[in-house]
Amino acid sequence: MHIRVMREPSINDTTLGSLFIEDHWQCHTLEDVIRPTGEKVRSKTAIPPGCYRIILTMSNRFKKIMPEVLNVPMFTGIRIHSGNTAKDTAGCLLVGQTRSVETRSIGRSRAAYTALMLKLRAA
pLDDT, one tens digit per residue, over 71-97 is: 998 899 999 999 999 999 988 999 999
Q: Confidence band (pLDDT; 50, 70, 90) for 38?
A: confident
CA atoms in the 13 A half-sphere facing the CB of 113? 20
Predicted TM-score (pTM) of this structure? 0.93
Residue 74: predicted pLDDT: 87
**pLDDT above 90 for 67:** yes
Residues 6+ apart with CB under 8 A from 35: 41, 45, 46
